[in-house]
Amino acid sequence: MNKQQAEKEIHQLRALIQQYNHDYFVLDAPQVSDAEYDRTMCQLLDLEDAYPELVTPDSPSQRVGAEPVGAFEKVAHRVPMLSLSNAFDEGELRDFDRRVRQGVEGDVTYVCELKIDGLAVSLTYEDGQFVRGATRGDGTTGEDITSNLRTIRSLPLKLKEPTTIEVRGEAFMPHKSFLALNQAREARDEEPFANPRNAAAGSLRQLDPKIAASRNLDVFLYAVGEWEEETLASHSERLETIQALGLKTNPEWKKCATIDDVIDYVNHWTVERPNLNYEIDGIVIKVDRLDQQEALGFTAKSPRWAIAYKFPAEEAITTLTDIELSVGRTGVITPTAILEPVKVAGTTVQRASLHNADFIDEKDIRLGDTVAIKKAGDIIPEVVRVITEKRPDNAERYAMPEHCPDCGSDLVHLEEEVALRCINPDCPAQLQEGLIHFVSRDAMNIDGLGEKVVGQLFREKLVQTISDIYRLEKPALLELERMGEKSASNLIQAIDQSRSNSLEKLIFGLGIRFIGSKAAKTLAAHFKTIDALAHATYDDLIAVDEIGEKMADSVVRYFSEPHVDELIKDLHALGVNMTFKGREPSTSVSDSPFTDKTVVLTGKLEHFTRKELKDTIEAMGGSVTGSVSKNTDIVIAGEAAGSKYNKAVELDIDIWDEARLQEALNA
C-alpha cells in the first residue's frame, strides 16, 4: 500500500469509527460488536503508525494523545457563562411565567430540560474541528481542559458540518462509571468519591488526560455561546441543530405551551429521576423564542428568560450520638452534631451543623435524639428537627461548656453575639485556624499549604506564627511524613511567589475581624501601603466608602496591638510585599437598585446563600457590610433576623424582605 492508498483508507476508517462512536455513545444504539470496533481501531492505529505524517488532531486515535500538563491555562469566555436564578416551588414558577408574559409580546412557549448535576463546560469548534474546551470557572474566566474533554467519546472531535461554533453543556459521570470508579478506588484503599458530580469535576481537573480517559465520562450539550452563522429562531431549533451536527443533547427535553405543562414536566421528573443513569438536581425552563429571550434580557447575574427549578432537599432520619465543639480563628465556638452515618442526596453524612447554642436550645436537641437532617442548598448538612416521640427517657438537655475545649480559657459572650468565644490570643486552635486562613485561596493563596499540611507543620512546631511560613526551608520539610522532594520544592516555590502578592491579599490574610476580601481590597486601594493603613485613625477609616463603624473600629484595634507591629516588621524583613498593586475597584453600575448602596444581610434567607447574594449585590454596584450603621442604605432580613433588624428599625433604614429582594433582582 502506498501513501495515497493509506490516506484514503485512513479517511474511511476514521469515518467508520466516528459513526460507531456516535451510535454507541450518543444514540445508545451500537451497530457493531466490541470485537469489530476494536479490529477497526487497530487497523487505523497500524496505518497511522506506518504513516505518522497523516495523523490529524481529529483522528479517533488522538483522544488520549496529550502529555500531562503542569497547570491549566486560563480561558476568557467572550460571552459570559451566567448562572440561573432558582425556583423552589410551583408558586415561584408561576411568578416566573407572569414576569415573562409581562415582558414580551405574543404567545410564550417554554423548553424544559433536565438539569444535569455535573461540571459546566464550553466547547469551541473551528471549521468543524474541536479546538478548545474550558470549564465555566467564575462565568467570565475558566480553565483550559481541552485534553481531558477530548477523552469523552460522546464528544465529537469533528462536527458533521465545517461550522465555527461555541457550544455549552454539562460533563458528567454516569452511575455505572461512578460505581466502577469507587469500587476500583476502594480496592486500592483510596477514599471513594462522595458523589458523581465530585467525581466528574475531579476527573476533568486531572493534569494527566489518561486518568480522565479511564473515568468514562459523558456530556450533554444544551446551549450556544457564539455562532456567527446562526439563522435559527428558537432554542428548540438550536437543540435539534446541534444534535444534527453530531453533538449529544439530552433526549428528555420537551416544548411546553403553558406553565401548567411545565409544572407537569417538573412533577413527572421529580418522581422519575431515580430511574435515570445520571444525576439531576432540577429542571431548567427556558423561553423558546430567541427574539423573546433578547427582549427579556439579563440581570447582572442571570438571564430573565430562564430559571432553574431545584428539587426539594432530601431528608434523612438518623441518631445524634454526640456534639463536638470546634474553635474558629476568631475564637468562636461552633457545635457540630456527630451522627450515625446516613445517606443524604447521594453522599454519606456523619456530621451536621448546629450553628450555636441558641439553635440547640430552640430545637431542643439532646444527645441520643433521633433527628431529621437535610443538606441546605444540597451542600451543607444541617439538623432540621428532632423526632421527640423517639427520644430516650434519660435524654438530658445539652449545656455549652464554660471553658475553651482546646486551651481551657474562660469562654465569653461578647455584646450582640449569640456565639460563645475564646478570647485567649495564644489559643492553639485559633493560631492554627489563623494560619489556615492566611494561606487560603482568597488570602495569600499558597498552593500546597492545605489544612492537613498546616496542621502537620503546627504540630511539629515548624510553623507557630504567620512569619514562620516565610522561614521554612526545604530540608525541614523533607523530614515530614509524606513530604517528598517534589512536594517540598513546589511548596517552597509557592511560598516565595506569595511574597509578591498585592496588599489586599495580605490584609485579608491577617484575619482582621469584619474585614472580608472585598473590604480588604477597598482598604488596600485607598491607603496603598500597610504602613498608611496601620496609622489610619477611626475617622480616616470611616470616611472610606464601604467601610462601616465596626470595620473601622476593628482595624484600629488590630493595629494597636504591639504584636501586630512586630508581625508587620517581620513580614517586611522576610520580603513580603506591603503595597497595593491592583486597580481600584469599580462600583459603577448605573441602572442597578444597589448602585452605590451599602447593604447588610441578616437572618436566614430561603432562596440564597450569603456568599451568592453578596456576590450578586457587589456585581450590581453595591457593597455588603457586616454591621448596621447610619451609613447603611438597605437591610435585607430573612427569618429569625435579630439585633441588626432592630437597629435598622431604630435608625429608620430601609428594610427589605426576600420578596422585595427578588423583585429588585428581577427588575
| Residue 273 DSSP one-character state | G
Inter-CA distances, 411 with 183, 401, 427, 638, Å: 46, 8, 12, 29
What sign for the dihedral angle of Cα 520, 522, 528, 533? negative
Cell of 624: 455588603
The closest alpha carbon to 128, from 8, 245, 7, 10, belongs to: 245
Pairing of strands 623-625, 598-602: parallel
Asked if residue 446 lies in contact with residue 498, where contact means CB atoms within 8 angstroms, the answer is: yes
Residues ≥6 apart with Cβ < 8 Å to 74: 137, 141, 142, 143, 144
Active-site residue, selected from the candidate residues 115, 375, 597, 644 = 115
By CB neighbour count within 10 A (0-12 exposed, 13-18 middle, 19+ buried), where does 145 fall? buried
Asked if residue 304 lies in contact with residue 296, where contact means CB atoms within 8 angstroms, the answer is: yes
The closest alpha carbon to 408, from 425, 422, 389, 388, belongs to: 422
Residues ≥6 apart with Cβ < 8 Å to 492: 472, 473, 474, 477
Inter-CA distances, 593 with 85, 323, 458, 651, Å: 17, 43, 47, 21
The closest alpha carbon to 209, from 113, 65, 108, belongs to: 65
Inter-CA distances, 648 with 92, 218, 627, 658, Å: 28, 51, 10, 16
User: CA 33, 63, 36 angle in degrees (round to 5)?
Assistant: 15
Rounded to an integer, what is the distance from CA 554 to the centroid of its chain? Answer: 30
Does the active-site annotation cover 160? Answer: no
Q: Which residues are catalytic?
A: 115
